[in-house]
Amino acid sequence: QVQLVESGGGLVKPGGSLRLSCAASGFRFSDYYMSWIRQAPGKGLEWLSYISGGGHFTIQADSVKGRFTISRDSAKNSLYLQMNTLISEDTAVYYCARGQGLADSWGQGTLVTVSS
């Protein structure tokens, strides 16, 4: 069955960086677009970015453009989110999800807290 496992979250100071990873299994990873979606504490959902199966096309939300970069490594069946210049508003649970437009499978999420 499809499994997505995020890692790399934690506490980081404003202006700092963090790299999230998502290990995928149970499906042919390179066949699928993949996405990052976040949820601030007690808030709704925000679709941040997605990447094509081959990794050649990416798109980011304006709120993270220029600061966050999505990437993937099909040899490792892994998805990544490099987060730079973090601000307090980036505090959230970050989910990796399979799909673009539709998120048909989700990981359990990893919490990122931006605080001094």
Shortest distance, position 16 Cβ to another protein, whole Å? 25
Determine the residue type at 101: G
Q: Which of 51, 2, 36 is nearest to 112 (CA)?
A: 36
Element (H, E) at 35: strand 34-39
- Give 44 or 75: the residue with its C-beta nearer to another protein: 44
- Point out which residues bind another protein (CB under 8 A): 44-47, 59, 61-62, 95, 101-109
Shortest distance, position 53 Cβ to another protein, whole Å? 17
- Give 48 or 83: the residue with its C-beta nearer to another protein: 48
Kind of pairing, strands 10-12 and 110-114? Answer: parallel
Euclidean distance between CA atoms 116 and 111, whole angstroms? 16
Euclidean distance between CA atoms 35 and 22, whole angstroms? 10
- Give 8 or 16: the residue with its C-beta nearer to another protein: 8
- Give 16 or 99: the residue with its C-beta nearer to another protein: 99
Q: Which of 2, 3, 10 is nearest to 93 (CA)?
A: 10
Shortest distance, position 14 Cβ to another protein, whole Å? 24
Shortest distance, position 37 Cβ to another protein, whole Å? 8
